[in-house]
Amino acid sequence: MTITEKVRIRTYVAGLHLERLARHAPWQLFGRLSLGALVIGLGLWAFVYSGRAEAATPVVTGSGTASITWQAPTESEDGLALAAGDIKGYVLFWGPDSRFAGTVANPLALRAGCTRKPIARASQECYRGVKDLTASGPSLSTTVTIPLTADASLNFAVTAVNTRNEWSDYSNELRKMVRLSVTSTAPPKAPVATSVTVEVTCTTDAPTATCTFRVE
């Protein structure tokens, strides 16, 4: 820890030129010097800053994996049963932001810029990450690598794509919060002594004396 100090002092003399003082009589010199001292006193400006440098906050980063599973839809949007093999595959969307605005009045209101369903396969209007799984068939799970910061909010949603390349709505949104912390390996700070108790007993071999004590 360091202590820094900055001092700025500015002085001025209004209308007083010291190099001209020698031309005046002593009483004139005294008067002008008195006036100059007053002006200097009024014009003194000082700013003192002192502060203790704080230790830099550690930057915490990390990485991990997220495994997501889901259930295949059994009905189409009109409520009729899906034909066997109609699901071509799925697309996973994920990122730090939820697609919902999260207002108290309407918790399911969409965030500005988000739509009810993706508008394109590579669409990232609601989520920053996208993983197209349609090429691998209608699998019901996947794993993604996720970069992490000190407090990472992770939101996941899945859409289904049929054999006609028609997209479903987003699934329900799964949300996880990952919190990273720092544990120091530096030496501990000094303990603070709070109290001390002294107990004394004494004896003397003098037959006509007693032993006393005082703790200060």
Q: Tens of pLDDT along 133-149?
A: 998 888 999 999 988 87
Q: How confident is the model at residue 30 (pLDDT cuts 50, 70, 90)?
A: very low
Residues 6+ apart with CB under 8 A from 103: 109
Residues 6+ apart with CB under 8 A from 111: 97, 98, 99, 100, 101, 102, 126
Q: Which residue has the tokens 């920053």?
A: 128
User: Which of the pair, 132 or 17, is modelled with greater confidence?
Assistant: 132
Structure-token pair, residue 141: 């799970």
Q: Domains of the chain by range and CATH?
A: 3-52 (no CATH), 62-179 (2.60.40)
Q: Alpha-carbon distance 159 to 123, whole Å?
A: 12
Residues 6+ apart with CB under 8 A from 78: none
Q: How confident is the model at residue 102 (pLDDT cuts 50, 70, 90)?
A: confident
Q: Tens of pLDDT along 175-195?
A: 999 888 888 889 999 999 999
Q: How confident is the model at residue 119 (pLDDT cuts 50, 70, 90)?
A: low
Q: What's the predicted TM-score (pTM) here?
A: 0.60
Greatest alpha-carbon span in the chain: 116
Residue type at 70?
W
On whether the CB atoms of residues 151 and 177 are closer than 8 A, the answer is yes
> Has residue 38 got a pLDDT over 60?
no
Mean residue pLDDT of the chain comes to 75
Q: Tens of pLDDT along 51-101?
A: 444 567 778 888 899 999 999 999 999 999 999 899 999 999 998 888 888
Q: Alpha-carbon distance 84 to 163, whole Å?
A: 11
The length of the chain, given as a count of residues: 216
Q: Alpha-carbon distance 63 to 65, whole Å?
A: 7
173 — phi, psi (to 5°)?
-95, 130
> Has residue 215 got a pLDDT over 80?
yes
**Three-state SS for 159?**
strand
> Has residue 48 got a pLDDT over 90?
no
Residue type at 205?
D
